[in-house]
Structure 1
Amino acid sequence: MVITTVLMAKSDIRIRACLPGDEGALALVGQATFLETFADVLEGSNILKHCANAHSIECYRSWLADSRYKLWLAEISPGQAPVGYMVISPAELPLADISLRDYELKRIYVFSKFQGNGLGRRMLQEAIAAVRSFGAERLLLGVYVRNHAAIGFYTHMGFRKLGYRKFNMGGQECDDYIMGLMLRDSGE
């Protein structure tokens, strides 16, 4: 039996801004990627509770209707099946120096099968460009302290640890780092 690996070109996966009507795809991809990422790390019943609330169609529908939020889907050709997504919003993280000019990368997930080909970097660059156009000074995010791959990726992309928070994931208390990327010099 011969197994071949096909590396996808950047053009095979497109990143597009979401529109009303995308909430079903966002909820499905949100739930599936969260489960895939944390199934061997966190309690299954808590993951399912979290996904039922935090990744519901209603949640994504409300974000799509809120002009302060911006959402994207990554879709593979042919067929435009969603393989990842991301959400930015005004920052709501417990930092002493939080500002109205801070934005939060609330969600960024890609199915593991599509990781390692630059898609995460492309998605993050899209988010950075968007928040810069809004006049943001920092892009912040929360990341589970045991998600070493994500922490490594964010660090490689220039994010630094700024703080810490407790995160309720379906009734289970988790520890997150708060990380941030400066988008402009303090002298600007």
Structure 2
Amino acid sequence: MIRHWGRKPGERVDTVTPIHWREAVPGDTSALSLLGGATFLTSFAHDHPGPALLAHIRTAHAESYYRAALDEPTQLLLIGETPLGAPVGYAMLTPPDLPVPTTERDDVEIKRIYLLGPWQGGGRGDQLMDLLADHARQRGAERMLLAVYPQNDRARRFYARHGFHEIGETTFMVGDMPFRDLIYARTL
């Protein structure tokens, strides 16, 4: 019997349950891979073809991808955990790699920012965005960039609330399928 400790499966977690954010370490590659695959599948299964989606997850969210990212000193991965140590979210800050004018000295890219569905809300995303902005400023960045799927209205509203605005677009490959993404920027 599965016990849900007072809540139904899929129900949002209360707003007082904290997420502890820390820098990811090499021992987190399995958790990052699982989080990456789960959050990407949950976010895009409604309108991305299954084979392309699964091919993307197998490569872009493989443990080897996160292992290489953690070995790269210019990249930062944050992992969020419950008080019991269960991983529920992550974010990735990297040098910019988008088709807009950038400088590595002044710009950083939020490559990934995800929370599992029940952990969204209650200011948790705001907390994570504030942490990323603090890390970007510590690196001397003056601007944060990111790419977002145009049909992801919830994410676009979240980014707008945090001062991001559209500055361009790019093509994001999911397996062998191209998808249009918008490029957003926020001055720090």
TM-score by length of 1: 0.91
Give CA-to-partner distance per residue, 1:76-132, whole Å, 9 cap, x none: 12x21001100000000000x211221000000111111111111111111100010
Aligned residues: 179
Distance verdict in 2 for CA 1:172–1:133, change over 3 Å: same
Q: Which amino acid aligns with 2:14?
A: L
Q: Secondary structure at the match of 1:178?
A: strand
Structure 2 equivalent of residue 135 of structure 1: 140
Structural mapping, 1:82-97, within 5 Å: 82-95=87-100, 97=101
Which of 39, 50, 54 pairs up with 2:45?
Answer: 39
Instruction: Give the whole-Å Cα distance in 1 for the aligned partners of 2:70 and 2:78.
Output: 10
Using the alignment, how far apart are the partners of 2:98 and 2:166 within structure 1? 13
The corresponding residue for 1:110 is: 115
Indicate the residue corresponding to 1:49 in structure 2.
Answer: 55
Stretches of structure 1 lacking an aligned partner (at least 5 in a row): 184-188
Give matches, 1:136-151, under 5 Å: 136-151=141-156
Q: 1:136 to 1:14 in 2, by over 3 A?
A: same
**Residue 3 of structure 1, CA deviation:** 6.6
Distance 2:65 2:77 in 1: 12
Does structure 1 retain, via aligned residues, the 8 Å contact 2:167–2:184? yes
Assess if the C-alpha contact under 8 Å between 2:148 and 2:155 holds in 1: yes
TM-score in terms of structure 2 length: 0.91
- Alpha-carbon separation, structure 1, partners of 2:47 and 2:130: 28
Counting aligned pairs with the same residue, the percent is 36
Q: Does the Cα contact within 8 Å between 2:15 and 2:121 map onto a contact in 1? A: no
What does 1:1-188 correspond to in 2, within 5 Å? 7-9=14-16, 12-77=18-83, 79-95=84-100, 97-100=101-104, 101-183=106-188
1:145 aligned counterpart, secondary structure = coil
Q: Deviations over 1:46-79 (max 9, x none)?
A: 11000001001000000001100000111112x2
- Does the 8 Å contact 2:33/2:63 carry over to 1? yes
What RMSD over aligned residues (CA atoms) do the two structures have, in Å? 1.5
Over 4 Å off, 4+ runs: 2-6
